[in-house]
Structure 1
Amino acid sequence: MSITQRKNGTYEVSISWYDSLGKRRTKSKRGFKTKPEAVLGEAKLRLEYEEVSVREKVDQQDTFAEYFKNWYIFYKKPKVSKVTLNRYQYTYNVINEYFGNKLLKDITRANYQKFIVKYGQNHSPNTMKMINNCIKACVKNAVYDEEIKKDFTYNIELISNRDNVVQVEYLNVAEIKALLNSTISKLNPRYTSNYMIVTAILTGARLSEIAGLTWNDINFNFNTININKSYDYFAKSFKPTKNKSSNRIIKINNTLCDVLKELRTNNTDLVFKNKRGLIPTSNAVNKALRARLEELNINRRNFHFHSLRHSHVAFLLSQGIDIYPIAQRLGHSDITTTTRTYAYLIEEYKDKNDAIIIAGLDKLSAEKAPTKVPAKSDI
C-alpha cells in the first residue's frame, strides 16, 4: 500500500500486485481530502482488483500514460531528486494529454514521430530532448519486460522550435564587479543569502552544492573548497552531487575566505545555516539577488541564481582562461559538456581569441630566421 500527500493537500493511493508472469503491476487513485479517506479508498481499490479475472484484464490494457506513470513511480521516484521527479511528472502529463487512452502495445514509431513533430513545433530543443530521454528509458524497460516487442523511440528524429530557446542571461565584467562589491558591502552574518551570492560569483558552484558546504569542506590554509555533496531542501539532508565528476576541490581567493570566516559567528554545522537553523531557499536567494540587481539598475529578464554560474564562466573566458580548467572547476566530466553548455559564450570571445592567435602568428613570421653558416662542403 502507498499513500502520498500531494502538493494541493489531497491524497493519492496506489496498490501493486504481480501478474501471472511475475511482473509487478500497479493502480492508483487520487483526490482524497483526508488521510482516513485515502486509507478507505485504498481498501476499496484493492477489493476491486482482488479478482484474478479483473487483474488480468487490467494487465493487458495498460495505457501508455498509465504504464509510464507506474514505471517512474516504482523505479525512479525512490532514487531521484525532486527536480528529476518533476521532469517525469511533466512528461507524464504530456503523454496523458497527447495519447490519452491509447494502449502502450498499440503505439508505433509513426505514432510517436507524429507526437514529436506536433509537440516540438512549440517547444525548445532542451524540452524535447528531456521528454524523449524520459520516454526512451521507460520504453526500454517495457521491451525488457516483454510488454511490447519493439522500441518505438528508436531512431526518432527530434523536432523542436529554436525560437522557444531562452537565452541564459549573464553579467559582463563590469556588472559582475559591481554586483560583487555591492553584495559584499551588505553582508550581515544574520542573513546568509548574500554570502551565498558572493560564493556563487567567485566559485561558479551550484546552489545545492553551496548550501551543502560544511566547515570541514573549507581549507583556509590552502584556500580550497571541497565540493563532495549537495543539500536536499525537501528532505533537509545531504545528497550526492549531480554526478561523480561534480565532486571536486577548487581554489578560492582571499576575498572569499575572509567573507566566509564571518559566518563562523553563527556557530552552525553548515556554513550557510543562519542562527535560526535555516539555510536560505532558492526563493530566498533569488529574492536577495533581484534586490541587489535592482539597486544597481541591472535589468536581466531571465537572470536568476544559477545565472551566476554562467557569469562566472563568462568572466573566466574574458580573462583568457582555457576551457579545460573551467570544465574542471565547474565539475564537468569533460570539456564536451562545457563547450555545449557555453557555446554562445565561447563564440562571443572567438574574435578576441582569433586576434591573439593572429598576433602570435604575426610575431612568429616577423622573427628573422638565424643566418645559416655555410659548411666547408658548400664552399
Structure 2
Amino acid sequence: MREARLWASRIEADQSLGAIKASKNILFSDYFKEWYTTYKAPKVAPITLSRYKIVYKVLKNNFKGVKLDKMNRTKYQRFINEYGASHAKDTVHKLNALVRSCVKSALLDEVIAKDFTQGIELVYNTNKTRKVDYLEYDELMKLTELTASKLNHNFTSRYIILTAIFTGARISEILALTWKDIDFKNNTITINKSWDYHFKTGFKPTKTAASNRTISAPQLLLGWLKQLQGNDKKMVFTNQYGTLPTPTAVNKTLRKLLKECGLHKKNFHFHSLRHTHVAYLLYNGVDIYVISQRLGHSDISVTTKKYAYLLNKHTKKENDKINSALDQLVNKKISLNKD
C-alpha cells in the first residue's frame, strides 16, 4: 500500500515536471499572449485589451523563435534600447509595465527562475515625446469667454468643451453624462460611467473604480447645461442630429476656437483641457489632494506623477511665498550683517 502511494506520488511529480518542462518550450511572445488571454482579457475593457495585442505583435516581431526560458536581462535590455530609440517615453514605459506583469506570472508558473526585467534601464526618444500643452490663466479666460459667447443648443461640442474646462473630466466621462447625473439643486455632477466612442458599444465602466465620483460644479456651468434640456430626455450632450458628437468633432471645434482666440498651441487637444483645469486650480491655491479626488485618481501619487511638470512650477511659486513670509520675521530695518 505504501509502495503504491509512493509510486502514485512519483507519477504525479513527473507529470507536474512534464507540464513545467512543456511550458518552458513556449516562445516568449506566445507566453505573453497566453498570459493576457487567460488573466487579463476576461476583465479589461476592449481598448485596454487592444494595447495587450499591440505589445504581443511587438514582442513577436522582435523575439522571433526566442523561448521564454532563454530570455535574459541582456536580450531584453537590447530590445528596450532598440525599441526606445524610436518611441516616446510613455510608450516605452507602458510596454515595459505589461511585460513586467507577464514575467511575474511566469515566475509564479515556475517557467523561469529569474525576473529578466528587473534593473532594466528604460530608453526612449525625447523627440518622440509629445510635449503636454496647457493654457495659462489669461489664455484660459479668452477661450472660456469666446466659447460661452458662441453657445447654440444645436451644437453641443462647445458645451462639452466648457464642461471640461470647469470639471477636468475626461471626454468619455462627459459624453456619458445623463440628466440624472446633474444635480442642479446641490450644484454637483456625478460621474459613474464612460461612453465607449472607440467601439461604439454605448455605456461602459469608468477608467478605474476611483473614477466614480461626485464633484462640485459652478452655477454658471449648470446654467449653460440647462440650455440643452430640450434636446434629449436622457443624454445631456445630444446634438441636433440626435447623436453625441465624436471626439474628432469636438477637437475640431476646439482648434477652431483656439484659432479665433489667437492661440497657437500645436500640441493642444481636448485632453489638454484636463491639464489646464489642474493648472488653474493650482494657480488658485487648491490643495493637490482635493484636485486628485476631483480628477478621479485612485491615489494622490498618480496625480503628482502625471502632473509633475505643473507641480514643479507651482512649487517655485509656493517657495517664493514661503520666503516672503519668513522675511516678515525680521524687521527689514535690521541689517542681516549685524553682529
With the shorter chain as reference, the TM-score category is 0.7 to 0.9
Matched with 1:326 is: 291
1:217-268 deviation digits (Å, cap 9, x = unpaired): 1111111111122122224332222222222211111110101111101123
Q: Is the 8 A contact 1:268 1:277 kept in 2?
A: no
**Deviation (angstroms), 1:110:** 2.2
* Cα deviations by residue, 1:189-237 (Å, 9 ceiling, x for unpaired): 2221111101001111111111111111111111111112212222433
Question: Does residue 114 of structure 2 align to residue 160 of structure 1?
Answer: no
Which of the pair is proportionally richer in strand? 1
Q: How many residues were matched structurally?
A: 317
**Structure 2 equivalent of residue 185 of structure 1:** 149
The counterpart of 2:138, out of the listed 169, 174, 179, is 174
- 2:226 maps to what in 1? 261
Q: Does structure 1 conserve the Cα–Cα contact (< 8 Å) formed by 2:156 and 2:239?
A: yes
Task: Letter of the 1:258 partner, please give it.
Answer: G
Query: What is the match of residue 349 of structure 1?
Result: 314
SS of residue matched to 2:203? strand
**Where does the alignment leave 5 or more consecutive residues of structure 1 unmatched?**
1-19, 25-55, 368-379
When normalised by structure 1's length, the TM-score is 0.76
Contact 2:176 2:194 (C-alpha < 8 Å) held by counterparts? yes
CA 257–104 in structure 1, closer or farther in 2 if over 3 Å, else same: same
Would you say the 8 A contact 1:268–1:274 is kept in 2? Answer: no
The structure with higher relative contact order (CA 8 Å, sep 6+) is 2
Name which of 201, 206, 212 aligns with 1:247. Answer: 212
Report the residue type matching 1:183 in the other structure: T
Please say if residues 124 and 162 of structure 1, whose CA atoms lie closer than 8 Å, have aligned partners that are also in contact. yes
Q: Distance in 1 between matches of 2:45 and 2:253?
A: 25
Alignment RMSD (CA, Å): 2.7
Residue type at the aligned position of 2:70: D
Identity, % of aligned positions: 48
Equivalent of residue 307 in structure 1, options 272, 276, 291: 272
TM-score w.r.t. structure 2 length? 0.84
Offset, 1:366: 4.2
Preserved contact between residue 173 and residue 195 of structure 2 (Cα < 8 Å): yes
Runs of 4+ residues deviating >4 angstroms: none
- Structure 2 CA distance for partners of 1:293 and 1:344, relative to 1, 3 Å: same
2:292 partner SS: helix
CA distance in 2 between counterparts of 1:95 and 1:344 reads 32
SS at match of 1:164: coil
2:170 maps to what in 1? 206
Q: Structure 1: how far apart are the matches of 2:140 and 2:121?
A: 40
1:43 corresponds to: none
Gaps of 5+ in 2: 1-14, 333-339
